[in-house]
């Protein structure tokens, strides 16, 4: 069997396992519709693998069996306390008003996830169950690097739960409590990333309604992910009266957290739209930079009234290093009347990018766009126009890295030989990248799976003596779902041990990322990409 | 054990720095897993399980693992897991050898409700449609077959089955993609189940 056929065969088995993980029992004929020649072998393998399911069971489950046999736990208790359908429950990660969160492992697939439960005390309430189901439906539609992905939902032994990515990191509330207020650059980076996640959610018709520092988690790769869309609901549809339009305050719940809640949301949740999230994000920015909530007050009512009536404090008074323009952005985010705020997160992101960009960067954009137009006119497809300003020579040591909206903070090591070769980008779901280096120039090509499609990109760049790499992404096929990639003009990277840390810049913003590179071990991996 | 994966690296560092407590924690960590696997293997044999739980088999395992860690300083979590899994498999093979068959220690212990043959599945147990080994001899065969797998597949079985790491943790440790881990794990299960029948 050729390597291609073998890969195709294992792709089918991947699919078979994924469907089983979701509780389906897929037929071989259905899976092999486009590859009937593999059907017989697939039938034999799936039959053997089903018999081998026992190898996938966890120690917890085995321990439960032992306890069950010893009469310590009844079968019903085991189900209730240790497992949730296909998931074995491990330690608790945290809790919120609408549910506790546990680390868990899918028993067959051995995959670590986070499982959020609806508290048993609320199971009896039809409103809570309905709200929980609505949350799951809203979350299942979202897929974005800055939003925690949801995979599955279910009910076992009367417990409702949903399953999401296990994110390795800390929430911004905890980070600020432990380390004190953030530097302006870091807070701005977190703000931009959270804004991008929200922009995506809003585009899908989902309003968060509980944006606060503890619902934003910073993972080990430096990516901010929005957590706990626990009270998100669908935007009301203009023509139909849906369940999403129910006035949740009617049930006595004032949703969201008071310190970050928009005035109109505290009055009536139904009145709150996506602009309430912008307000909450503004309050979050204030907390990140000062370590304090925007308004204080001894009682909940005092704070609600403060959000409605008291003017917002100046960010610069509490944190003098904040530039004037950022204070202006903040004031617009926390305006009392929704119509005085940014009318969309997209407008907020654009304003942030424009105001934060130094004049030289704005000049560069004009120069770069002009250069691009000239290149098109000349019929050239060579897009590796220099991304250095004032370049006179081909010598990398005479070039300066492009100035970006947010300054990268890494230190470079100058270990150039590190990057040439084929690498697997660890943090990016196994994306493989081939980096070919010719002196100070390099070409990177990468390929990864996004759903059913294979996404490819190509980037060309230059390495300076200081170890900075400036690159531009010039091909993507097809355009990946990540919004930033197709529009990316340049990215500056720094070598950091075996990691490339970078900042991608594009129209309207920037995006920080880290690639930890490891050498692929198998021949199968080294085949990608050419 | 999965949630302790991050701790393992920390304990290894401490152990290399001469911290004996870290060494003890690492050994306890592996013994806990050994205990789980032994219970699983013996759960159909109430008369030997009852006996085994008071046996000195775990003391022996602890001693053996301590000795192994004394002679070889694990350089990395990966090295440690390989070492621990090898020891755990050996102890389980010895354990099965010790209890099964007419001369096995278990055959001289009686348990009310169990048959006279130490290898017989107790009458009151339901038939198991899965391919899980049903006798001690089959478990012994299983652990011996794991040793004959190609290195890459054997290591995956050790990490996922013996040490109970998640696929993500195994991928991180081996420096491969989760997809590669899944593929090796699948090939190993297929191969093992074919041999075990």
For the residues of B48-95, what is the DSSP string, one character each?
HHHHHTTSSHHHHHHHHHHHHHHHS---SHHHHHHHHHHHHHHHHHHH
pLDDT score, position A437: 58
Report the distance separating Cα A274 and Cα A207, nearest Å.
Answer: 5
pLDDT score, position A279: 95
- Residue among A490, A495, A497, A498 at smallest CA distance from A471: A490
Q: In angstroms, what separates the C-alpha of A153 from chain B's closest C-alpha?
A: 21
**pLDDT at residue B184 greater than cutoff 90:** yes
**B186 in contact with chain A, both atoms CB, cutoff 8 A:** yes
Phi, psi (rounded to 5 degrees) for B109? -110, 130
Buried b or exposed e, range A20-42, using 16+ CB within 10 angstroms: bbeeeebebeebbeeeeebeebb
Report the distance separating Cα B52 and Cα A334, nearest Å.
Answer: 67
Q: pLDDT class for A290, splitting at 50, 70, 90?
A: very high
The catalytic position among A64, A152, A210, A259 is: A210
pLDDT score, position B81: 84
DSSP lists the bridge partners of residue A224 as A218
- Chain A residues whose CB is inside 8 A of the B46 CB are 69
The proportion of chain A whose per-residue pLDDT surpasses 70, expressed as a percent, equals 50
Report the distance separating Cα A317 and Cα A11, nearest Å.
Answer: 58
Q: pLDDT class for A338, splitting at 50, 70, 90?
A: very high
Window 52-91 of A, Cβ < 8 Å to B: 52-56, 58-59, 62-63, 65-66, 69, 90-91
Disruptive mutation site among A45, A52, A519, A525 for chain B (greatest number of B CBs within 10 Å): A52
pLDDT score, position B154: 93
Catalytic annotation present for A79: no
The proportion of chain A whose per-residue pLDDT surpasses 90, expressed as a percent, equals 12
Report the distance separating Cα B25 and Cα A383, nearest Å.
Answer: 57
Within 10 angstroms of residue A155's Cβ, the number of other Cβ atoms is 15
- Residue among A426, A509, A418 at smallest CA distance from A469: A418
- Contacts of A525 by beta carbon, 8 Å cutoff, 6+ apart: A422, A424, A432, B176, B177, B180
- Among A57-71, A347-361, A397-411, the minimum mean pLDDT is found in A397-411
Assessment of whether the complete model's pTM goes beyond 0.80:
no
**B137 in contact with chain A, both atoms CB, cutoff 8 A:** no
- Among A210-214, A309-313, A339-343, B108-112, the minimum mean pLDDT is found in B108-112
Q: Which two tokens stand for residue A451?
A: 């759903």
**pLDDT at residue A55 greater than cutoff 90:** no
**Among the partner residues B43, B178, B193, nearest to A48 by beta-carbon distance:** B193
Q: Helices A3-21 and A39-51 meet at what angle, rounded to 10? A: 50
pLDDT score, position A277: 93
Q: pLDDT class for B51, splitting at 50, 70, 90?
A: very low
Report the distance separating Cα B155 and Cα B184, nearest Å.
Answer: 9
Q: pLDDT class for A5, splitting at 50, 70, 90?
A: confident
Q: pLDDT class for A108, splitting at 50, 70, 90?
A: low
**B109 in contact with chain A, both atoms CB, cutoff 8 A:** no
Q: pLDDT class for B186, splitting at 50, 70, 90?
A: very high
**B58 in contact with chain A, both atoms CB, cutoff 8 A:** no
Higher per-residue confidence, A329 vs B138: A329
- Chain B residues whose CB is inside 8 A of the A109 CB are 167
pLDDT score, position A194: 93
Higher per-residue confidence, B155 vs B139: B155
Q: Which two tokens stand for residue A360?
A: 């030289």
Q: How far is CA B122 from CA A16, A54, A68, B116, in A?
A: 35, 20, 16, 10
Q: How many residues does chain A have?
A: 530
ipTM for the predicted complex: 0.80
- A and B: number of Cβ contacts within 8 A: 95
Angle ∠(A302,A305,A309) on CA atoms, nearest 5: 135
Report the distance separating Cα A507 and Cα A350, nearest Å.
Answer: 8
Query: pLDDT tens digit string along A435-494?
Result: 665 655 666 666 666 666 666 666 666 655 555 555 555 544 444 434 334 344 445 555
Terminus-to-terminus CA distance in chain B, angstroms?
29
Cβ <8 Å between A520 and B176:
yes
pLDDT score, position A331: 94
- Residue among B6, B157, B4, B189 at smallest CA distance from B89: B157
Phi, psi (rounded to 5 degrees) for A432? -100, 140
Higher per-residue confidence, A42 vs B37: A42
CB of A39 closer than 8 Å to CB of A9: no
């Amino acid at each position: 069997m050729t390597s291609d056929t073998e890969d195709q065969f294992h792709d089918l088995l991947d699919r078979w396992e994924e469907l089983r993980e979701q509780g389906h029992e897929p037929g071989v004929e259905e899976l092999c519709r486009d590859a009937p020649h593999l059907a017989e072998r697939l039938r034999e393998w799936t039959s053997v693998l089903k018999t081998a399911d026992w190898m996938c069971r966890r120690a917890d489950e085995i321990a439960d069996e032992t306890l069950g046999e010893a009469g310590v736990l009844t079968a019903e208790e085991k189900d209730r306390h240790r497992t949730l359908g296909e998931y074995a429950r491990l330690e608790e990660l945290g809790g919120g008003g609408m549910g506790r969160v546990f680390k868990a492992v899918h028993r067959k697939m051995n995959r670590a996830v986070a499982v959020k439960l609806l508290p048993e005390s609320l199971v009896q309430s039809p409103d809570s169950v309905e709200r929980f189901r609505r949350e799951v439906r809203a979350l299942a539609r979202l897929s974005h690097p800055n939003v925690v992905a949801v995979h599955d939902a279910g009910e076992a032994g009367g417990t409702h739960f949903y399953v999401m990515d296990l994110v390795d990191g800390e929430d911004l509330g905890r980070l600020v409590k432990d380390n004190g207020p953030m530097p302006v650059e870091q807070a701005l980076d977190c703000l931009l990333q959270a804004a991008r996640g929200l922009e995506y959610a809003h585009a899908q018709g989902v309003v968060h309604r509980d944006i606060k520092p503890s619902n934003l988690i910073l993972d080990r790769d430096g990516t901010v992910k929005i957590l706990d869309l626990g009270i998100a609901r669908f935007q009301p549809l203009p023509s139909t009266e849906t369940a999403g339009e129910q006035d949740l305050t009617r049930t006595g719940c004032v949703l969201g957290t008071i310190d970050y809640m928009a005035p109109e949301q505290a009055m009536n949740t139904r009145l709150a739209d996506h602009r309430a999230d912008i307000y909450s994000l503004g309050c979050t920015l204030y907390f990140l930079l000062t370590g304090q909530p925007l308004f204080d007050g001894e009682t909940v009512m005092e704070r609600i009234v403060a959000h409605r009536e008291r003017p917002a404090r100046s960010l610069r008074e509490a944190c003098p290093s904040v530039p004037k323009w950022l204070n202006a952005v903040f004031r617009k985010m926390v305006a009392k009347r929704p119509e005085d705020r940014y009318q969309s997160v997209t407008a907020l992101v654009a304003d942030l990018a424009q105001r934060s960009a130094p004049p030289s960067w704005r000049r560069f954009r004009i120069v770069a766009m002009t250069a691009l137009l000239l290149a098109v006119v000349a019929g050239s497809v060579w897009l590796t126009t220099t991304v250095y300003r004032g370049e006179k020579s081909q010598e990398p040591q005479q070039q300066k890295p492009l100035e970006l909206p947010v300054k990268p903070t890494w230190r470079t090591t100058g270990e150039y030989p590190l990057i040439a070769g084929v690498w697997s980008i660890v943090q990016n779901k196994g994306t493989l990248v081939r980096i070919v280096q010719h002196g100070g120039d390099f070409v990177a090509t990468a390929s990864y799976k996004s759903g059913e499609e294979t996404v490819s990109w190509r980037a060309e760049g230059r390495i300076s003596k200081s170890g900075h790499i400036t690159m531009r992404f010039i091909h993507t096929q097809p355009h990946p779902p990540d919004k930033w990639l197709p529009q990316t003009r340049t990215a500056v990277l720094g070598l950091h041990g075996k990691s490339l840390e970078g900042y991608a810049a594009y129209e309207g913003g920037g995006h920080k990322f880290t690639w930890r590179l490891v050498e692929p071990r198998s021949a199968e991996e080294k085949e990608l990409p050419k | 054990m999965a949630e302790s994966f991050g701790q393992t690296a920390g304990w290894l560092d401490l152990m290399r720095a001469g911290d004996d407590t870290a060494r003890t924690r690492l050994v306890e960590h592996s013994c806990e897993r050994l205990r789980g696997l032994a219970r699983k293997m013996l759960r159909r044999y109430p008369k030997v399980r009852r006996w085994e739980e008071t046996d000195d088999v775990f003391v022996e395992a602890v001693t053996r693992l301590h000795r192994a860690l004394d002679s070889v300083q694990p350089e990395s979590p990966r090295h440690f897991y390989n070492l621990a899994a090898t020891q755990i498999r050996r102890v389980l093979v010895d354990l099965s050898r010790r209890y099964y068959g007419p001369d096995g220690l278990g055959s001289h212990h009686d348990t009310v409700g169990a048959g006279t043959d130490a290898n017989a599945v107790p009458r009151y147990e339901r038939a198991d449609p899965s391919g899980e080994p049903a006798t001690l001899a089959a478990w012994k065969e299983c652990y011996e077959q794991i040793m004959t797998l190609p290195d890459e597949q054997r290591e995956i079985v050790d990490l996922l089955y013996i040490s109970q790491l998640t696929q993500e943790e195994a991928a991180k440790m081996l420096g491969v993609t989760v997809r590669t881990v899944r593929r090796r794990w699948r090939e190993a299960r297929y191969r093992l189940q074919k041999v075990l029948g």
